[in-house]
Structure 1
């Protein structure tokens, strides 16, 4: 039953969650409205600047493609900034078109932010797909790009007179655009110098972006490269086609006729850029569907090697390594090893603090456990190096048990941290597999202990049989033999005496002999001395000689462990005894042979069949055989005889 305070707490959490959801939806809707408004305003200004309907349609398609792709990515993965950056690219795509509005202030804003979409695109390229820069260098390039537009674009706009500079100063080719509300200096040479500097600074920034992307590619693993490649190829093709179009404008005579054939490919390549970005993000999202199969695939064989293989398949990362807690402690805490037994070398502090893991050098550095755990799954989106690989661009995900104790780590491509929901799902599946494996191990241990206990009981019972047989042989049997010898001497002394007394002595002697035989049979049934002295083959042969039904024995002289021999002997005793008592066979066959580390005992007869495997004798045999890890099979169709087969490990 919930108390008033707990109900109030639930209501508070529910209201807060609902409020956050409404705020998120409102922000998303505002972004969509902004993209729609920017597209319409930019298209109107573009038309006013003299662009044709085809150019406007192409421009609108590219900008809105980025906006739609960004809205979809934002909706599906709100925690990842990539979707919002794509939306920002779609909105800023139309900023430069505002120069055709004819409004001085709007023109000035359009001229100032003409290259803003390029800064946003550079930002998007450098953080895709995780949504965060890879390091200080990337952050520096991103800040420089925005700073160049903010400062350089403003300085250029302060000297930009569209009436003087003409069509060459803007991609709009609009000499009648303007006027410029921010125009302060009417100096063509100053504007030309500022404009040239601004453009060359843009070229230098582009080179820096390209170098950052090359470095990022070289340090990326296969999982990240599969996501990066479509987007980067699309951007490269779009840049190539746009550059070719610019060349066509600058040298129309040299490239005469080329523009006609390049228009459609250029349009398609630019529209393909946001589609490629979104496709890469969605491919990572679709991996979640394969996580459910991880538990199923590894369920029958939850070994560390199998788990690692299934994790690599589910995440699409062949470099992934699974580290399980080894149970030993290092300088700073627990040590994790991969399926091959190698220690995973991870930066100190990566597991419990969530700080950036770094490339570890020198000796393996175990993971500390002094800081408090905050979540069952702690992603560490930073660099880590597994033992012996020397490879960067990887990250660590820590998997914790229900007590918040790290029980496993995943060293994988850092691109996977761009989808925290995927990593949470994988970690949950891994925890389930590890729990299942642990329970299997505990059950196996219990079964092993139970089997060992049964073996100890069986061994103790067998030893007790041996002791009882020895006691009977050395005690009661010996005294009976001595009594018979005394009666024989007494009978000899009475040879000429009373006939009635001699008859009584002879009768007593006969009774003692029968008692001795019965005692010997009893001792033999408890544990035959010939079994311990000569082995299983001779013991079975001796048993067959005493049987009232012909028994054909095929058994070699090989010796086996005492417990195996006694169990096999009692299987033969029970099977032959059942046949002679209940099946009326004409003959019984017994085969004893070794077979690849197992002793196979078969007893078959041609009697009436119909033996009940659940009967007391056979059930006891099955328990005895099972205690040694063996198997007992009974085939006994009515009218078709009975076949009992036992297999006992003897290697």
Structure 2
């Protein structure tokens, strides 16, 4: 729509100089597009609006191509508005406001480019100020005076040259300040401002010496096209620097949830995006800093809330975004998948750590109730041997030997439970057979004798052992079948019992089994109809 208005505003310029017309339309389109993209950054919305205004007001400078009504006057007085807005955006970016000399410069530039043209219009006729404009155009009554007008025009031209040079100096000074990253973001915009300022000085000089020329204006327009391009380049540079900052945050100093939220804000271009993480122990949502947070209200006109659940249907997080962000359903669904995968892997790692802590506690408990108890009894018996004699000595010696044997057996059983040497030396089939022999039920195994990759053998062995233990405790089964098969890229482990079935899919026992398989990149399927036994099918990738 804006392009159409700009094309109509330039009217006869299409015939007189098509290149200048096309350059003007490209500048208008580029500035408006760059402005909208820059506005998506919360701290750069003001700069984005200035770029949009610069693009929208450019056609006012050429409205004198309609030589009737108030359009020539609009062109004379407001024709420099696009320069004001563009200079403001160039000097402001990437800060949020103008300060110091830059602010004083903008006040001076704005007054000069608005008040002086208004004063010139008062002392001129439309033909003097706007070449090619006929006298039929509407013009306010004033005091036309050619000599005063010529002096004002010369002063205005010289003043524009001085202001362009001053703006050039301010832009050059901006390259020296700030950190290296700030200069990297600022460089493309400052460079385009310098190009535009040099082009402006050239146009002012040529106009003062040779008069108005469409060719010179076309060259200035081409130079000004670097401004929207520079803002787009700088915007991309800013996003890359932000992303590099997020990547550097993966050194362990920031939480996974915090980094995930910032990545989503960058990806979805929503600075107000919020992510609340479900904490199962606390039974409530936490913010990325770990503090308790109330669930946000339901969808509103300006916000959308999406519940992210895991594969088991349990809540993982709440994603709160602006309504405009969710317009792109594909991008939003991709964000939800990213959250699900990240949090599931993150929670899996935590559960495995908890399981490791529990395993250590079990070892300590077994040592305390087993070997330690026997060794303490052995020490007491040995202390009694020092004072015993005759039959009592023989009795205590036999008791000491028995306690020592029990302690050794307890340590051997504990070591076997932690990691059996049979698995390391003979492979999966003998190790599983050795573990099943210790159970008070019939266990049939069909396991190939060939050796599997070490990591796969360990994963399959501990999965089978834990499944056998759970079955012997809770399934009331008489027999168990363990089958292991291998195809090209994975092995399949099936543990089937003839027990009571009805296993709790979300219970701690099956949860540990599922975590063990998923940590290796596999998948566990549980089939446990009530009264018909339970079948666990685990698929474990070989690589």
Q: State the TM-score, normalized to the length of structure 2.
A: 0.51
Contact preservation (8 Å) 1:157, 1:183: no
Per-residue CA deviations over 1:243-269 (Å, capped at 9, x if unaligned) read 4466556667xxxxxx99x99876643
Per-residue CA deviations over 1:122-142 (Å, capped at 9, x if unaligned) read 122133356x32546545544
The equivalent residue for 2:331 is: none
- Residue 458 (structure 1) aligned with residue 367 (structure 2): yes
2 CA distance for matches of 1:194 and 1:605? 100
Contact preservation (8 Å) 1:302, 1:437: no
C-alpha displacement of 1:205: 4.4
Which of 87, 93, 100 in structure 2 is aligned with 1:122? 87
The equivalent residue for 2:152 is: 194
Contact preservation (8 Å) 2:123, 2:144: yes
Give runs of aligned pairs for residues 498-647 of structure 1, distance below 5 A: 518-526=398-406, 567=411, 610=430, 612-615=433-436
Give runs of aligned pairs for residues 128-139 of structure 1, distance below 5 A: 128-129=93-94, 132-135=96-99, 138-139=102-103
The equivalent residue for 1:185 is: 143
The equivalent residue for 1:646 is: none
CA 1:38/1:613 → structure 2, altered by over 3 Å: closer, same or farther? same
Which of 18, 40, 53 in structure 1 is aligned with 2:18? 53
The equivalent residue for 1:86 is: 51
CA 1:156/1:77 → structure 2, altered by over 3 Å: closer, same or farther? same
The equivalent residue for 2:115 is: 151
The equivalent residue for 1:231 is: 189
- Residue 482 (structure 1) aligned with residue 390 (structure 2): yes
Larger Rg: 1
Q: Helix, strand or coil for the counterpart of 2:70?
A: helix
2 CA distance for matches of 1:433 and 1:603? 34
CA 1:610/1:269 → structure 2, altered by over 3 Å: closer, same or farther? same
2 CA distance for matches of 1:520 and 1:61? 98
Q: State the TM-score, normalized to the length of structure 1.
A: 0.44
C-alpha displacement of 1:157: 1.7
Q: Helix, strand or coil for the counterpart of 1:233?
A: helix
Contact preservation (8 Å) 2:69, 2:137: yes
Contact preservation (8 Å) 1:67, 1:90: yes
CA 1:436/1:128 → structure 2, altered by over 3 Å: closer, same or farther? farther
The equivalent residue for 2:284 is: none
Q: Helix, strand or coil for the counterpart of 1:304?
A: coil
- Residue 40 (structure 1) aligned with residue 5 (structure 2): no
CA 1:605/1:243 → structure 2, altered by over 3 Å: closer, same or farther? closer
C-alpha displacement of 1:226: 3.9
Give runs of aligned pairs for residues 163-182 of structure 1, distance below 5 A: 163=127, 165=128, 173-174=131-132, 181-182=139-140
2 CA distance for matches of 1:137 and 1:399? 41
The equivalent residue for 1:403 is: 292
Q: Which runs of 5+ in 2 are unaligned?
A: 267-271, 276-286, 295-323, 326-333, 440-457, 462-543
C-alpha displacement of 1:54: 3.6
C-alpha displacement of 1:112: 1.0
Give runs of aligned pairs for residues 30-429 of structure 1, distance below 5 A: 32-33=1-2, 35-41=3-9, 43-44=10-11, 46=13, 51-70=16-35, 80-103=45-68, 105-129=70-94, 132-135=96-99, 138-163=102-127, 165=128, 173-174=131-132, 181-203=139-161, 205-206=163-164, 209-241=167-199, 243-244=201-202, 247=205, 268-281=222-235, 303-304=252-253, 400-401=289-290, 403=292
2 CA distance for matches of 1:74 and 1:375? 16
2 CA distance for matches of 1:404 and 1:610? 53
CA 1:236/1:37 → structure 2, altered by over 3 Å: closer, same or farther? same
C-alpha displacement of 1:208: 5.2
Contact preservation (8 Å) 2:91, 2:102: yes
C-alpha displacement of 1:401: 4.5
2 CA distance for matches of 1:435 and 1:220? 41
Q: Which moved more, 1:222-231 or 1:121-130?
A: 222-231
Q: Which runs of 5+ in 1 are unaligned?
A: 1-31, 253-258, 318-373, 378-397, 406-419, 486-512, 529-542, 544-565, 576-600, 619-630, 635-651
2 CA distance for matches of 1:570 and 1:36? 83
The equivalent residue for 1:12 is: none
2 CA distance for matches of 1:129 and 1:82? 8
C-alpha displacement of 1:233: 2.5
C-alpha displacement of 1:438: 9.6
Per-residue CA deviations over 1:551-602 (Å, capped at 9, x if unaligned) read xxxxxxxxxxxxxxx958996xx99xxxxxxxxxxxxxxxxxxxxxxxxx99
Contact preservation (8 Å) 2:120, 2:149: yes
Contact preservation (8 Å) 1:161, 1:183: no
Contact preservation (8 Å) 1:145, 1:205: yes
CA 1:78/1:212 → structure 2, altered by over 3 Å: closer, same or farther? closer
CA 1:270/1:208 → structure 2, altered by over 3 Å: closer, same or farther? closer
Q: Helix, strand or coil for the counterpart of 1:95?
A: helix
Q: Helix, strand or coil for the counterpart of 1:44?
A: coil
CA 1:516/1:98 → structure 2, altered by over 3 Å: closer, same or farther? closer
Per-residue CA deviations over 1:167-221 (Å, capped at 9, x if unaligned) read xx56xx5486776713512333433443344445545544554455445444444
Per-residue CA deviations over 1:350-381 (Å, capped at 9, x if unaligned) read xxxxxxxxxxxxxxxxxxxxxxxx9969xxxx
Q: Helix, strand or coil for the counterpart of 2:292?
A: coil
Q: Which moved more, 1:441-450 or 1:144-153?
A: 441-450
C-alpha displacement of 1:453: 6.2
State the aligned residue count.
383
Contact preservation (8 Å) 1:100, 1:177: no
Q: Helix, strand or coil for the counterpart of 1:237?
A: helix
Q: Helix, strand or coil for the counterpart of 2:97?
A: coil
